[in-house]
């Protein structure tokens, strides 16, 4: 992204230097291969939503990295998984 994105009353305009091309695989495989989304994938599996990530098609997923969960305790993670 280019600096200088603009906010409007109903969204935001983000200026891009190049096209973002669709992945040639599922988002599940991308997240698994990346290796930084283990907690997110664990929570998706706990919620029974893993198959959603394996579906073909175009959609957006906001997937926090393991680092984003760093402030949570094991108890917090367990609570989220239940």
C-alpha dist (Å) from residue 22 to 6, 43, 44, 56: 24, 25, 22, 11
Q: What is the pLDDT of residues 17-53, one digit of tens each?
A: 787 777 688 889 989 999 999 999 999 999 999 999 9
Beta strands in the chain, from DSSP E residues, in sequence order: 6-8, 11-13
pLDDT tier, 2 (very low <50, low <70, confident <90, very high otherwise): low
Q: Does the pTM of the predicted model rise above 0.85?
A: no
Region for residue 51 given its phi and psi (left: phi exceeds 0; alpha: psi -120 to 50; beta: otherwise): alpha
Q: Which domains does the chain have, with CATH numbers?
A: 23-81 (2.30.180.10)
């Amino acid at each position: 992204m280019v600096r200088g994105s603009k906010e409007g009353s109903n969204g935001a305009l983000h200026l891009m230097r190049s096209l973002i091309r669709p992945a040639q695989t599922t988002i599940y495989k991308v997240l698994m291969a990346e290796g930084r989304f283990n907690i997110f994938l664990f929570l998706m599996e706990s919620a029974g939503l893993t198959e959603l990530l394996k579906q073909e098609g175009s959609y957006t997923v906001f997937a926090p990295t393991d680092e984003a969960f760093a402030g949570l305790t094991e108890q917090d993670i367990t609570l989220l998984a239940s």
